Structures are given as C-alpha cells and as structure tokens.
Structure 1
Amino acid sequence: MTDHCCAAMTAHAGRSCDLHADPFDCPDALVRFDPAHREYGLIVHDGGRSAITIAFCPWCGRALPESQRDRWFEELERLGIDPWTDDVPAEFEDGRWLGPQPR
C-alpha cells in the first residue's frame, strides 16, 4: 500500500469501483496516482486517458512528491532499455525502482 498525504487522498487515489475496472472509465474516480513516476493527477473524463498533474493535495494542501518521470526515462536509458520498443522490467512499472516512498 502507498502512503499518501492524508486520508482523503488515500481514499481517492486508491479508489476502486465495482462497475469500472479502469479509473478513466469511472465517473466517480477523481485522482490517478502513478507509482512508477510518483505522480498525482486529476482525471479528465473526456473519453481518453488524460490526467492533469497536480503538485498539491486538493484536500489537505500538502505538497505532493516531485515527479520522477524524467529520472525514470534516464534510468531506463542507462540500462539500455527503450520504453517505447523494449519490455520494461516490472519494478519500473510499480515504483519499486524508486525504493521506499518518502514520508
């Protein structure tokens, strides 16, 4: 389980729906958390898969972790992995490559 900044963020970022397996299909899903990059985003419900990256929690106002997206690409490049054409190791998909999450 991922520790989020507050109970409200934990509820929204970890929300599951009995009707929709994909949060982008669920009109009640508000927040997408991407553990691979440690990014939070507000889901844009327009039929696509867009989310607007946010830097602060909408509920408690705390600063959210800095995105690790650039570092993710740099680390894969260092390992000789092209994420567009090669298989990406599982630890790069779920955030394990980052180590423990800061509190």
Structure 2
Amino acid sequence: MNRVLIGDIFYSSNSENLKKIKNLEDKFCCNFLQLRLEKDDSRLHYDRVLREFYIERIYDSSSAHVIKNCPWCGKKFPKELRSEWFNILEKEYNIEPEVGKNGEWVDNVPKEFKSDEWWKKRGL
C-alpha cells in the first residue's frame, strides 16, 4: 500500500484519503493543521466555544498549553475569547459560570455559550 506524507502524518493513498486531502475546506490556516485536528489521537485541539487552539498535556489531560500560532505555517491564530466569554456572561446575564465535578459547565450557562454561536453572533 502506498502512503502519502502530509505534514507529519502518513496517510494511505487510497482514493478516499486522497479525496479528503484534496478537498479540505479552508476552515483553518493550512491543510496540515486541519488534518492534525481531524486525527483522533492528536493532542492538538481547537475549542470552538473559546476560539482557542491548545496542546493537551501528556502528563495531565485536564490542563493544556494554549498556542497562538500555527505550528506548521506560522500564521497567527485569531484572538482567543476566554476573557470575553466570562465578561459577557457576567455583564449580560449576571452569571458567573461554574465547572461541575465532571469538568462540564453547570447548566446555568445559556445554550449559545456552549458553542461558537455567541461570538459569531456578536461579530467577534
């Protein structure tokens, strides 16, 4: 079986994989980042709620290193919105979000703030 190297990932060159590689949406700054984020075993993640990219720590998966630039093309990522998320919830809804025992937000957070809807709606 032939393999194709894209970034630092080898893909089998079957027609389904090659089609996926050639037809990537321009969702992120480069195909390498897109492909890495799609891998199940990747420690690189994108949080669409807070618009931040981060690398999960090997020794502690409950914490992470936020990264500001693409590791492959060097392009600066859009500003992460962690502070804005908390500030808007406090100012507009009088909510101070709490994290539950399972690491999820307690139900007092409005639905739009559990996705990227809140920052897209506000043009951030």
Same fold (TM over 0.5): yes
Q: Supply the RMSD in Å over aligned alpha carbons.
A: 2.3
Structure 2: tracts of 5 or more residues without a match: 1-24, 99-105
User: Greater shift after overlay, 43-52 or 65-74?
Assistant: 43-52
Q: Tell me how far apart the structure 2 counterparts of residues 69 and 57 of structure 1 sit (CA, whole Å).
A: 19
Letter in 2 for 1:57: C
Structure 1: tracts of 5 or more residues without a match: 17-27
Residue 44 of structure 1 aligns with which residue? 57
Q: Tell me how far apart the structure 1 counterparts of residues 67 and 90 of structure 2 sit (CA, whole Å).
A: 26
| Relative contact order, higher structure (CA 8 A, sep 6+) | 1
Give SS of 2:87's match. Answer: helix
TM-superposed deviation, 1:51: 1.3
Letter in 1 for 2:27: D
State percent identity of aligned pairs.
31
Residue 71 of structure 1 aligns with which residue? 84
The one-character-per-residue Cα deviations of 1:5-26 (angstroms, maximum 9, x if unpaired) are: 111111222333xxxxxxxxxx
Residue 16 of structure 2 aligns with which residue? none
| Structure with greater strand share of residues | 2
Residue 30 of structure 2 aligns with which residue? 6
Q: Identify which of 87, 95, 100 aligns with 2:116.
A: 95
Letter in 2 for 1:12: R
| Structure with greater helix share of residues | 2
The one-character-per-residue Cα deviations of 1:31-84 (angstroms, maximum 9, x if unpaired) are: 111111100011111143221011100011100111100000000001112211
- CA 1:68/1:2 → structure 2, altered by over 3 Å: closer, same or farther? farther
Give the structure-2-normalised TM-score.
0.63
Residue 43 of structure 2 aligns with which residue? 30
User: Does the CA contact (< 8 Å) of 1:9 and 1:57 recur in 2?
Assistant: yes
Give the structure-1-normalised TM-score.
0.75
Give SS of 2:62's match. Answer: coil
- CA 1:47/1:98 → structure 2, altered by over 3 Å: closer, same or farther? same
